[in-house]
């Protein structure tokens, strides 16, 4: 349980309560490109022209270079020239990979030994389109030396090998291979695998959404108060959902971890007004993950504020529910049905799944979970992890003629014989 990925009772400056986060131009462009990728050829071409071909190309290349980090890279910085075409317009860019470099600059690469060329609409689909083959207009080229190179110690040999590796990085990133969530967690050092063993459960529920246009919010970024630290799980989600927008919420300022499609937001999860403003600005969401303070009060406040902004079919996840039993965190290990704890609330949600079978209460307090019983289709409970599915829950109950308050065995008791 990453205690550095928490919110606190106070909001120490930054975003004021109830103030929604600002939508940046980069956010709007990435969202537009993701949605444009599934349109017709004519609409894609027109949309790219309207948005600005160069602006779109640079955004798509930044995303591709970011994905290329998952592939083996050259030991030294190596330039690849990328040429993109939209109708009669031709643009060239230099992508530098290897030796810790991951850069995109405008203009052709001088003396680059590797080159990739492609139509911009198809390049868009390769990056953000639905799964499929998007390489029909792609050209790959390696400039060969003007003499035989047989000695591995020859510098020409090393330069060519570096060019091939860098070109493989780009082409591999465009192919969007599916890496397991465990692998991504290890790569980005997310504690959702290792210490916690959440990723197999996540993969079970998230896999059907993986290739879709997903809008995800995770509460809790990590890294304590360092603005440049944290975000391991956010990066994992970004690469698991190649067409997804990933938002992270933390009480501390985290602008330093911002990346393409990864947006750190500052706010307090115990503030329902702020959460409502955030959801209005950035939602609706397909997935919400609460890995925040783990204080029971905050867990319930966040659910109440954000669940209405989850799309039908969406998933709401609560991590580290062990705090439901820890008194210092607002838990209760004596009354296991205490509705003010996260697990007490979850147990009420489970009863709500069968609301059609229950006799409505005539008096007494109504469970806080009762308002959700018609909007929750399933509740999956694992060790320290709960996944709630949002869907209409109006499935009819048993027929009315089936008695609820009579022992059914009495129906089949043979009548006594009269003497």
Residues with a catalytic annotation lie at 294
Residue with tokens 């009420």: 348
Give whole-number Cα distances, 72 to 109, 164, 390, in Å: 21, 11, 40
Give whole-number Cα distances, 351 to 178, 219, 297, 347, 355, in Å: 37, 27, 21, 6, 7
Using the Cα atoms of residue 396, residue 402, residue 404 and residue 408 in order, give the sign of their dihedral: negative
* Cα–Cα nearest to 173, from 104, 85, 228, 231: 104
Give the burial string for 276-310 (b: 16+ CB within 10 Å, else e): bbbbeebbebbbbbbbbbbbbebbbbbbebbbebb
* Cα–Cα nearest to 213, from 25, 22, 32: 32
How many whole angstroms separate alpha carbon 325 and alpha carbon 323? Answer: 5
Per the structure block, which two tokens stand in for 167? 């070109």
């Amino acid at each position: 349980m990453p205690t550095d990925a928490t919110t606190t009772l106070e909001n120490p400056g930054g975003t004021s309560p109830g103030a929604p986060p600002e939508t940046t131009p980069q956010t709007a462009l990435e969202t537009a490109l993701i949605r444009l990728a599934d349109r017709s050829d004519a609409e894609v071409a027109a949309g790219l022209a309207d948005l600005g071909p160069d602006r779109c190309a640079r955004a798509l290349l930044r995303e591709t270079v970011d994905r290329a980090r998952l592939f083996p890279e050259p030991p030294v910085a190596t330039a690849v020239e990328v040429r993109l075409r939209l109708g009669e317009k031709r643009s060239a860019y230099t992508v530098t990979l290897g030796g810790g470099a991951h850069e995109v600059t405008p203009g052709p690469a001088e003396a680059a030994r590797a080159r990739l060329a492609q139509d911009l609409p198809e390049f868009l689909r390769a990056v953000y389109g639905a799964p499929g083959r998007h390489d029909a207009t792609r050209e790959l080229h390696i400039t060969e030396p003007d003499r035989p190179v047989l000695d591995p110690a020859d510098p020409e040999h090393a330069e060519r090998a570096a060019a091939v590796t860098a070109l493989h990085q780009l082409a591999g990133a465009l192919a969007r291979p599916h890496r397991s969530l465990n692998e991504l967690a290890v790569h980005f050092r997310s504690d959702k695998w290792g210490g916690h063993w959440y990723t197999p459960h996540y993969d079970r529920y998230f896999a059907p959404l993986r290739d879709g246009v997903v809008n995800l919010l995770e509460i809790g970024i990590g890294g304590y108060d360092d603005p440049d630290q944290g975000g391991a799980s956010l990066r994992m989600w970004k690469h698991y959902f190649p067409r997804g927008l990933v938002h992270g919420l933390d009480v501390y300022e985290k602008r330093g971890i911002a990346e393409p499609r990864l947006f750190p937001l500052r706010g307090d999860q115990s503030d329902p007004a702020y959460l409502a403003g955030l959801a209005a600005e950035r939602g609706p969401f397909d997935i919400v993950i609460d890995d925040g303070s783990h204080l029971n009060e905050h867990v319930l406040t966040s659910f109440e504020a954000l669940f209405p902004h989850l799309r039908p079919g969406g998933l709401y996840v609560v991590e580290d529910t062990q705090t439901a039993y820890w008194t210092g965190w607002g838990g209760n290990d004596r009354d296991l049905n205490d509705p003010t704890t996260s697990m007490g609330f979850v147990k009420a949600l489970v009863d709500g799944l069968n609301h059609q079978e229950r006799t409505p209460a005539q008096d007494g307090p109504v469970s806080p979970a009762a308002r959700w019983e018609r909007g929750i289709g399933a509740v999956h409970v694992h060790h320290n992890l709960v996944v709630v599915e949002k869907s209409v829950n109006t499935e009819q109950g048993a027929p009315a003629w089936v008695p609820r308050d009579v022992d059914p065995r009495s129906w089949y008791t043979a009548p006594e014989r009269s003497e």
